[in-house]
Chains A and B, each alone.
Chain A
């Protein structure tokens, strides 16, 4: 995968979406359904992730003072 810094910036701020933990001890893996993703499904996935990261109240209105939930609190920055 390329450096996310080289990925074109999207309006929603989501640069890369990668599914699953890569549950193998010998090689890092990529989901086949992501390899052959249709444009429609890809757009829907990006939109869903962007929405999940968007701090909005239950009524759907954004609250600029409320950060997205961090649970548990974010660990250290490197």
Chain B
């Protein structure tokens, strides 16, 4: 039996390959040769390109969430299709595998389905996140090229309104049902804050019952409109961070076939005390802060960034992320999870005045600083 390899990229170690079920695999040179992948020459200072790139397609959004990381507005501009097409071709040439469209509200673009079709035709795997506003059955049927559509839903019991400043639960749940009816794979984006994290288990049960196949947990990040003092009232408390890892560990074996829970890059340090060794995490593709590494972004003006939350000028931001990952300061330098976590979320550290520094909300960093401060 042979796997269907849908995309591949040679690397100095061998190759990254994507299988037909969207599993991503790194293989050594021997397997890469056996797969018949063409050879490529690499410079000694070769820097691998990103595997996944987030592309902002619009600054317009009908709901304008209180904590929107892109500061989208009702009258924001769409990115021209021609610019996005050029971006997609560039990403293909760079060997990118997954392109994640975001906004603003991508559904406000009439050509969203055509963008996904274009990405597919180039061999990219397109995904998108939406609030669900503007989705109709007819629109849903145009989204079949997406590998998955994630709908934002911040939880049951008032969690949604607590995070976004309005209650969009009905719209989100109608969107999930509409996408499912159209045969589109659906996931749910769930931003964790101190206001909704206690309802996590109930939210897992709820979105699974709605037909979602995945719940993506996101750390609340101080970018865009969320880069304010309000961040301090929204972020998880240290006690909630301490409990989150064990909550997820308890959830993992209960999920069953066909449903998955994911943590984002920025949550990795917060659950780090519950994680196994770095070698195991690396072997199973766990991503911490991959900004400027396996992850990249393309902003609305077409410039590249380390991640979609990064507002530093393109090359400066990417260089900063890479420099930190290469030579992090303590306590990251001696942390056993360094290679996977990569220092936690720099958007948080920069917002809190630390610059490119170890994530100040990581329990390991907090403990290190407390030890340093003690007489």
Chain A contacts to B: CB under 8 angstroms: 1-10, 12-37, 42, 45-46, 49, 51-56, 58, 66-72, 74-78
Contacts and interface: CB of A to CB of B under 8 A. Distances in A.
B201 interface: no
A19 B253 CA distance: 16
Contacts of B95: 75-78
B7 A23 contact: no
A55 to B, nearest CB: 5
A21 B52 CA distance: 9
B286 A1 contact: yes
Given A49-B23, A74-B5, A13 B31 contact: yes
Given A29-B262, A74-B8, A34 B40 contact: no
A24 B2 contact: no
Interface of B: 1-14, 16-17, 19-20, 22-28, 30-31, 34-40, 48-49, 52, 54-55, 69, 92-95, 98, 100-103, 106, 123, 125, 127-129, 147-150, 185, 187, 189, 214, 216-219, 248-249, 251-253, 255, 260-266, 268, 271, 274-276, 278-288, 290, 294-295, 307-309, 339-340
A51 B98 CA distance: 24
Given A18-B25, A77-B38, A27 B218 contact: yes
A32 B266 CA distance: 14
A36 B283 contact: no
B6 A32 contact: no
Contacts of B127: 21-25
A33 B255 contact: yes
Contact of A24 (B3, B150, B278): B150
Contacts of B185: 23
Contacts of A20: 22-23, 214, 260, 262
A18 B307 contact: no
A24 B100 contact: yes
Contacts of B26: 4, 7, 14-16
A76 B89 CA distance: 12
Given A28-B290, A29-B216, A18 B263 contact: no
Contacts of A3: 13, 48, 339
B342 to A, nearest CB: 8
A1 B308 CA distance: 18
A69 B262 contact: no
25 contacts: A1-B285, A5-B12, A6-B339, A7-B283, A18-B23, A21-B148, A22-B287, A23-B149, A24-B262, A25-B106, A25-B129, A26-B100, A26-B102, A26-B129, A27-B265, A28-B295, A32-B252, A33-B252, A36-B248, A36-B276, A53-B27, A67-B36, A71-B20, A76-B95, A77-B40
B283 A17 contact: yes
User: Considering residues A15, A51, A68, which has the most beta carbons from chain B within 10 angstroms of its beta carbon?
Assistant: A15
Contacts of B187: 23-24
A75 B96 CA distance: 11
Contacts of A33: 252-253, 255, 260-261
A15 B283 contact: yes
A69 B3 contact: yes
A51 B35 contact: no
A15 B30 CA distance: 12
A30 B285 contact: yes
A2 B92 CA distance: 23
A72 B123 CA distance: 9
A6 B373 CA distance: 35
A67 B35 contact: yes
A9 B262 CA distance: 27
Given A1-B285, A14-B25, A78-B95, 16 more contacts: A16-B282, A18-B287, A23-B185, A23-B214, A23-B216, A24-B129, A24-B216, A27-B308, A29-B265, A36-B249, A66-B2, A68-B2, A72-B123, A74-B8, A74-B35, A76-B95
